[in-house]
Amino acid sequence: MKFGVSFLPDASPRTKSPQDYFRDAIDLSARAEENGFAYCKMTEHYLNQYGGYCPSPLQFLAAVAERTRSMRLITGCIIPSLHHPVELAATTAMLDAISGGRLDVGVARGYMPYEFDTFGIELGTSRDRYAEAIDLMQQLWSGAEVSGTSEFFPLRSARSWPLPVQQPHPPLWGAAVRSRQSFAWLGERGFGLLVTSGFADLEALATHVSIYRSTAQASGHEPRVLMSIPLMVRQTDKQADVEGRAALQEYLDVWAGAADSWAGVASQAYKGYTGMSRGIRAAGVDGLLGTGGAIIGSATTCAAEINKLTARITPDGYLWQLDTGSASRASMFETLDRFCSDVEPLLG
């Protein structure tokens, strides 16, 4: 079982300055590597307290690369629909060079209407743009001259520089949430799977992960699954309950506020997303904890919850989200240290 840190900033100038957020996140990543963590992941978002502090995971991971030596650096995730594939191929290869071949490229369709609206991109085209951008990025990574009359990104005699250190290209991962099609597509392509339980029913999630695994194996690929989950470890359950619930409520408030952009918006490409903010608010912290979408508690409680989740989903590793609720530096470091010293030895 491998572990890593995962960042999805929900901070704002009201709660934490950008300077403090990135200082703490980079320092935490370095400490995580010292404790044997294998991954650092950062998410791309814009315009909103929900992830808006990090419009460029690649810039953040380049800073982490300079503070670490072995940790894999995962974009978790880049949104290809919002980028030209020439930009994606070149900037990811640049970070692969800077890091000495430690980049893993995680991709996602994106799902916030306000981001697509601002970039002038039709929400309903996201799946096709996503697939096309990834295909062209992989072709450009090869060093070949690429030409084609694609629907969204026509290229003529394009050759990307620099090329990735890792050949034929950096490992690819994809995020999937609720669509069986998305899980199967990632398996067919041989991508690793980035998943979070969130508010999902664990049985449904286990079924979707099984679809991914069986599809990957049938397509001749080795399945790889990493789960990102908010985590808080404290000396006692009572302390964790007080601090953890406050942090998770802040996170859910920010998430629901961003998801309000789905009010009155419907898309065949995103079935079930209309009005999603109502579902987030209705489920609340209890709903998130009840589905394994977050883990808080003493070392023994956290270990028991992780073991239960592992038995059902059997991921290859966990990426712990420690910045939830605009967490303080002290809070994040306490959880990391307690996980390494007290929780990890109890894991099956």
Query: What pLDDT score does 54 carry?
Result: 97
The SS3 call for residue 67 is: helix
Task: CATH number of the domain at 61, please.
Answer: 3.20.20.30
Which helix (H) or strand (E) segment is 247 a member of? helix 237-259
The tokens for 277 are 């903010």
Rounded to whole angstroms, how far apart are CA atoms 81 and 131? 8
DSSP 99: T
Q: Provide the pairing of β-strand 146-148 with 103-107.
A: unpaired
Q: Which domain holds residue 237?
A: 2-346
Query: What pLDDT score does 197 carry?
Result: 84
The tokens for 150 are 């694609």
Domain count of the fold of the chain: 1
Q: Mean pLDDT per 10-residue run, the chain (348 residues)? A: 98 96 98 98 97 98 98 97 97 98 97 97 95 97 93 94 97 91 96 92 94 98 98 98 98 97 91 91 96 96 97 97 98 98 97
Rounded to whole angstroms, how far apart are CA atoms 334 and 320? 13
Rounded to whole angstroms, how far apart are CA atoms 177 and 334? 30
